[in-house]
Amino acid sequence: MTIHREGRTLLFVLLVVLFAINWAVGYFFPEARIAQNILIGASLFFYVIILQFFRIPVFQVNKNERQVLAPADGKVVVIEETDEPEYFKSRRKQVSIFMSPINVHVNLMPVSGTISYCKYHPGKYLVAWHPKSSTENERTSIVAKMSNGTEILFRQIAGALARRIKWYVKEGQPLQQGDEFGFIKFGSRVDIFLPLTAKVVVKPGDITKGGKTVIAEL
């Protein structure tokens, strides 16, 4: 396991701040041993929570051009047939994965392909499970075109807490299934739009692992 680059500065600053607070309490209130111990315990707990949020697990991606892998850790909250108005402008199967603050927040390519579309949209910060969050919240829409011509759209969506979307791809860039394409800080959602012919193999409530869980077969 490694620590994501998006969290390294934050973790360093947080460590310095927590150390300073604990040192100040110990220096100015030397008799308050119980309070010092409680503060130390709370500081360690808080730091570990933030640390695990930025972790990057190491695992082997089982690449398969006929499968769509989960782009993120989280829980399946939506599976439905819907209109996709931004890029396809037609009916698609949508699978949405909600990422809680305790999930790994690295976003991974669900398929291998070339980025044929990438656009950032400023917007609102509705809770990530809100029905309109997919079209009204701050978001980034990315489309990967596979070698057989099939295109898959995946959308990073900010939530009420997550207000920092990062994406590392550009149009024309080739990427492999399981490669990192982005990161969302502190709770969010990822929508995947599939062809109507795709067979979704997950169900609402299922827990996904980014780059490992198969969510659909093409």
What one-character-per-residue DSSP string does the chain give? -EE-HHHHHHHHHHHHHHHHHHHHHHHH-TT-HHHHHHHHHHHHHHHHHHHHHTEE--------TTEEE-SSSEEEEEEEEEEETTTT-EEEEEEEEEE-TTS--EEE-SS-EEEEEEEEE--B---TTSTTHHHHBSEEEEEEE-TTS-EEEEEEEE-SS---EEE---TT-EE-TT-EEEEE-SSEEEEEEE-TT-EE---TT-EE-TTTSEEEE-
Same domain, 89 and 21: no
Domain that holds residue 43: 2-56
Same domain, 116 and 174: yes
Same domain, 96 and 117: yes
Q: Is residue 61 part of a domain?
A: no
Q: Is residue 207 part of a domain?
A: yes
Same domain, 96 and 155: yes
Q: Is residue 83 part of a domain?
A: yes
Domain count within the chain: 2
Same domain, 117 and 75: yes
Last-in-domain residue among 10, 35, 56: 56
Q: Is residue 98 part of a domain?
A: yes
Mark the ranges of the chain whose per-residue pLDDT is less than 50.
none
Counting Cα atoms < 13 Å in the Cβ hemisphere of 68 gives 27
Same domain, 162 and 71: yes
Q: Is residue 99 part of a domain?
A: yes
Same domain, 128 and 176: yes
pLDDT of residue 32: 87
Contact indicator for 204, 77 with CB cutoff of 8 Å: yes
Same domain, 81 and 48: no
Q: Which residues are catalytic?
A: 188
**Dist. CA 79–CA 97, nearest whole Å:** 9
Whichever domain contains 175, its CATH number is 2.70.70
Same domain, 75 and 50: no
Q: Is residue 95 part of a domain?
A: yes
Q: Is residue 62 part of a domain?
A: no
pLDDT in tens, 41-96: 999 998 887 787 777 777 788 889 999 999 999 999 999 999 999 999 999 999 99
Q: Is residue 153 part of a domain?
A: yes
Same domain, 34 and 73: no
Same domain, 52 and 88: no
Same domain, 120 and 206: yes
pLDDT of residue 44: 92
